[in-house]
Structure 1
Amino acid sequence: MKTYLPSTSYEYATVQKVAGTTITEASDVLAAEEPLEIRLGYGPAGQRQHRTLSITMRTPGHDFELTAGFLLTEGIIRSRADLTGILYCPDVAKDEERENVVRAELVPGLSLDLPRLERHFYTSSSCGVCGKTSIDAVHATSCPVLPTDGPYLDVAVVHELPARQRAAQALFEQTGGLHAAALFSPAGELLLLREDVGRHNALDKVIGAALLAEWLPLHQHVLLVSGRASFELVQKAAVAGIPIMAAVGAPSSLAVQAATNFGMTLLGFVRQQRYNVYCHGWRLVNQQPAGGPDKVA
C-alpha cells in the first residue's frame, strides 16, 4: 500500500545519476528543510507580549508537536496545562513565512525568567552545552525521577526495534535523508514515530505529541533514535521521563555520563542483532552473561 506524505515534507530535484561511465537524468525526492520560528505569547490577560524564542531548521510537518516538545525539554513549560494553545502566526511579513512561524500561548500566570532564556539559547546556539553544569541544571529544573522498579525489556525485543522503526519511516523511504525517533512499549509495540532532518527535532516532535496527548511522564516507554545518542537527546528523553533509550549509532561520553546520573538505561549500536549496554543494564532481561552464546558487543 502506497504511503502518501504531506507535500510540504519533500521536494523534487532533477539530478544526474552516474553509474560507471553511464549518466542518466532522473527526478529525485529530497527531504524538505525550512526554518521554523518559535514565538512565545506570555504575560497577564490584557497585557500580553510576544517575542521570538528560537529558530530551528526542520522538516515541515507536526510543527505544533515540535514546538510543544521544544518548550518542555528546554524547561519553559512543565506540562500541557502551561499552554493555552499553539497557532501559526497570521501576521507574517512575507509569503514564505506562512506556516513557518508559530506562536505558543502560555497561561497568563506562568512565570518566565527572560534573562535566563536569553543566556541559555545564546549558549546553546553558539557553543553548545558544557558538562556537569548542564547536567546539574537539568536535575535542578526539569528532570523527573526515572522509575527504579522497571520497566523491563527483553533482549529479543531490543533486536526487533530497528526493523520496526525503519518499516514505519515513510519519509525516509522516499528520501533517504531523515532522522527518526520512535516510542515503543516494553513489549516492542510501536506507539509513535516522527521524522525530521534534525535528530533533536524528531525527538521534540515525539515528546511534543506525547505531551499534547497527556501521556507524560513516559515511564513505561522505550525510545529508539536512528542516529547517535548525544547529551541533548538523553537530556530531552529524561525530561519526558523515558527510562530506556536505544540508539542505532554511538553515544557520546557526555551522553553516557548523563544517562548514568539520570538512572536511564542507555544502549548504543542497536543494529544487526547486536548492541552495547552503557549503563543501567538491570532493566534488560534474558541477557546472556558476558562471554556466553549471545554476548553483547
Structure 2
Amino acid sequence: MMPADPLDLDALPAPDAPREVRRFRRGAWQSALDDLAEEVPVALEFNGISHAVMLATPADLEDFALGFALSEGIIAEPGECYGAEPSVSPQGITMHIDIAARAFAQLKVRRRNLAGRTGCGLCGTENLAEVLREVAALGRTRRVSRQAIAAAQAALVGNQALQRRTGAMHAAAWCSSAGEIVLFREDVGRHNALDKLIGALARTPGWRGKDGFVLMTSRASVEIVQKAAQAGIEIVAAVSAATHLAVKVAEQTGMTLVGFVRGDECVIYTGFDRIEGSV
C-alpha cells in the first residue's frame, strides 16, 4: 500500500548535517564546524505491514528497500518489487514497499520482527533457527586477481564522499574484474550499505553476467556473507577481518571470502580457487 499523496523529496533529511564543535588541535582549543552523519529510523513496510526498522543514512532509500527485500529473501527477483516510496514523519522515514502477492504470502508465513541497529543486522530475530537461514549454493563462474582487489581498495577512498565529510560511514562497492569501482553506496551501517548496493545492482541490466566482486570497508560479519550469498554474489572482500561464523557460512554457500585487504596484502578464508594464483 502506497502513501496517498506524493512525497515532497525536499522533506527527506540530508545524509549529513553541520554541527558546531570545540576541537583540540595543535595544542589549542578552537571552534569549528563538523559534518555529522545522519542516523534515522527507517521502517520497511511490505504491502502495508511493518516488517523491520533499521537505523540508516537517509540516502538511496529505494535501493535500500529493494536490496533488503532481495538480501533477506523476501522477494526472489527484482521484478517482484513493484515500487518503494518514502514518507516522512517526526519519528523517522517509512518505506512503503509494494511486492508481489506470492512474495507477500510467503513473508506472512515466516513472519518475524527484525529490529536492527547500525552494529547488528540480526537483532530481534524471534528464534535461533532464523539467524542462520539456509541460502542456496553459489555458482563458481567468477575469478579475480589479487591485484584487482588491491586496485579496488586503493580507489575506494576517492569514492567515499560522505566518509570524508563525516568519518562515520561504511561503504559497499561492486568492482569489476579489473578492480574498477562500478557501483558504490555508503551508510552508517555496513549491512545497510550492502543492501543499498544490492538494490542498485538489481536495477543494473546484465550485472549478473559480468565478472566482479563486492568490497566492504567493514569486517566480514555473518550478515554480510548471508546477504551477499542471497543476492548471488560469489566473491566478497573486506578491509578488516572475518568472523569465524562468517567463514563457516561462506564455506557452506561456496563463497570466496577475503579479509584484511590493505595495499597488496589480503587473507583468503574460503574459495581459494577463485583468486588467481593463490593455489
Identity over the aligned pairs, expressed in percent?
Answer: 31
SS in 2 for 1:118: coil
Larger mean CA deviation between 115-124 and 11-20 belongs to 115-124
Shift of the 212–279 alpha-carbon distance from structure 1 to 2, 3 Å rule, reads same
Residue of structure 1 equivalent to 2:246: 255
Q: Specify every segment of 5 or more residues in structure 1 that has no aligned partner in the other structure, as ranges.
A: 1-5, 42-49, 290-297
Tell me the distance in 1 between the aligned counterparts of 2:178 and 2:107. 41
Q: Matched residue of 1:275: which SS?
A: strand
SS at match of 2:123: helix
Question: Which of 95, 101, 104 is equivalent to 1:102?
Answer: 95
1:155-201 per-position Cα deviation (integer Å, ceiling 9, x unaligned): 21122121111111111111111000000111112110000000010
Corresponding residue of 1:210: 201
Residues 270 and 128 of structure 1, relative CA distance in 2, 3 Å threshold:
farther
After superposition, the C-alpha distances for 1:120-159 in whole angstroms (9 at most, x for unaligned) are 66993236985x8744x323xxx3x4222x3221121122
Q: Partners of 1:191 and 1:264 in 2: how far apart?
A: 21
Alignment TM-score, normalising by the size of structure 1: 0.81
User: Can you give the 5+ residue segments of structure 2 that lack an aligned partner in the other structure?
Assistant: 1-11
Q: What displacement does 1:212 show?
A: 2.8
Match of 2:106 among 106, 112, 122: 112
How many angstroms does 1:79 deviate by?
0.7
Structure 1 or 2, whichever has the larger Rg, is 1
TM-superposed deviation, 1:21: 4.2
Of 75, 88, 91, 1:77 maps to: 75
User: Could you say what secondary structure the match of 1:25 adopts?
Assistant: strand
Answer whether contact 1:68 1:212 (CA < 8 A) is retained: no
Q: TM-score, normalised by structure 2?
A: 0.86
Structure 2 counterpart of 1:256, which letter?
V
Which whole-Å CA distance do the structure 1 matches of 2:126 and 2:169 have between them? Answer: 22
Please say if 1:126 is aligned against 2:124. yes
- The 2-side partners of 1:27 and 1:165 are apart by 25
Whichever residue aligns with residue 70 of structure 1, its letter is F
1:54 is aligned to 52
Counterpart residue number, 1:294: none
1:219 CA drift (Å): 6.7
Alignment partner of 1:27 out of 16, 33, 56: 33
Q: Partner amino acid for 2:275?
A: L
